[in-house]
Amino acid sequence: MNGDTLVNEKDIEKSYEAVARPFNFKNIKELITLLQQFFYINYFSSENGGENSLKEKILETLGYELELYCDVGMDKDSIRERFQKSLPEIGELVMSDMEAAYRGDPAANSIQEIMAAYPGPFAVMVQRAAHKLYDLQTPILPRIMTEYAHSVTGIDIHPGASIGEGFFIDHGTGVVIGETTIIGNNVKIYQGVTLGALSTKGGQGLKCVKRHPTVEDDVTIYAGATILGGNTVIGRGSVIGGNTWITESVPMYSKVFSDIVGMKIQKISGGMKHNGFETN
């Protein structure tokens, strides 16, 4: 960046304010809480006309953030209007994620429990809202939203990632999903999964280049798997085993697992049998 990008003192002051605020998540948290209430309105809203009231509060809070982060001359009213129109569609995707989590986790007692307590669906909910703002070319704000979710859940999903319906991140800690990742419908991944780039040595020269993998419909990716590269496609219906390292495409309906060489299993002296295993 050089001085030519800062037009006047007002712009300079605004830039300093924008840089100073990202680590204060108070207003971002408020916006995300309002979005949660809107998406979960059938469960959490008891006031009549709650949906319209929440929309007004969302747009008011969003407007404040847009004033801070949008460049002079950007049509902030258009961003707010288009984001408002997208809320029902985002809400449907969020509910499909909640249902996928409930179907996919026998430990879940209800969808309400998932809404209130599960980190994966929360992180995905935030990303879905941020992704719409990202598509509307809103600067900075989408990334701050997903970084707030990252700070709360340990799940790092770039707002640019495209994610289909019924997406479930189980447990979630350590998951990383890069900007140009494409994820199909009904995909389930576990903690520690990375959907990343092979190399970013090209820096800004790689902007707008697809650097991250494509995961097709009905794929399951187990804990600790690393899948890298913009040309890497995980075919529909495949199962990716834990701790695998993948840099090339996987055909549809494949099972991928690590071939561990040299692992030894020994019986424990004096142990007793329990479910087929020797234990002390």
Residue ranges per domain, the chain?
1-154, 174-258
Q: Are strands 233-234 and 220-221 parallel, antiparallel or unpaired?
A: unpaired
Cβ neighbours of residue 67 under 8 Å, at least 6 residues apart?
Answer: 76
Specify the pLDDT at position 6.
47
DSSP states of 84-127: HHHHHHHHHHHHHHHHHHHHH-TT---HHHHHHH-HHHHHHHHH
Phi, psi of 208 (to 5 degrees): 70, 5
d(CA 102, CA 54): 26
Beta bridge partners of 31: none
Asked which of 91-105, 180-194, 252-266 is least confident by mean pLDDT, the reply is 252-266
Task: Please report how many Cα atoms fall inside a 13 Å half-sphere around the Cα of residue 129, on the Cβ side.
Answer: 31
Q: Is the pLDDT of residue 117 over 80?
A: yes
pLDDT digits (tens, 9 = 90+) for 21-34: 545 688 899 999 99
Question: SS3 of 19, please?
Answer: helix
pLDDT at 8 over 90: no
Measured CA to CA, the distance from residue 229 to residue 268 in angstroms comes to: 43
What's the pLDDT score for residue 38?
A: 92
The answer on pLDDT for 13 being more than 70 is no
Query: What average pLDDT does range 152-177 have in this prediction?
Result: 98
Q: Domain 174-258 is classified in which CATH homologous superfamily?
A: Hexapeptide repeat proteins (2.160.10.10)
Look at 91 and 201; give whichever has higher pLDDT. 91
**Neighbour count for residue 205 (Cβ, 10 Å):** 9
Q: Rounding to the nearest 10 degrees, give the CA dihedral for residues 62, 180, 165, 254.
A: -160
Lowest mean pLDDT among 9-13, 52-56, 194-198: 9-13
For 32-65, what is each residue's pLDDT tens digit?
999 999 998 866 555 546 678 899 999 999 999 9
Distance CA 16, CA 203 (A): 25
User: Do 96 and 166 meet the contact criterion of CB atoms below 8 Å apart?
Assistant: yes
Closest CA to 91 of 155, 161, 44, 29: 44
Determine the pLDDT at residue 265. 76
What is the Rg, in whole angstroms, of the alpha carbon atoms belonging to the chain?
22
Residue 248 has pLDDT above 50, yes or no: yes
Mean pLDDT, residues 200-211 taken together: 78
Q: Which of 85, 169, 99 is nearest to 127 (CA)?
A: 169
CATH classification for the domain delimited by 1-154, as one of 1.10.540.10, 1.10.3130.10, 4.10.910.10, 3.40.50.720 = 1.10.3130.10
Nearest to 156 by CA among 164, 144, 147, 145: 147
Distances, alpha carbon 140 to alpha carbons 21, 68, 81, 135, 159, in Å: 11, 10, 19, 12, 10
How far apart, in Å, are the Cα atoms of 236 and each of 97, 195, 213, 220, 239? 19, 16, 13, 10, 9
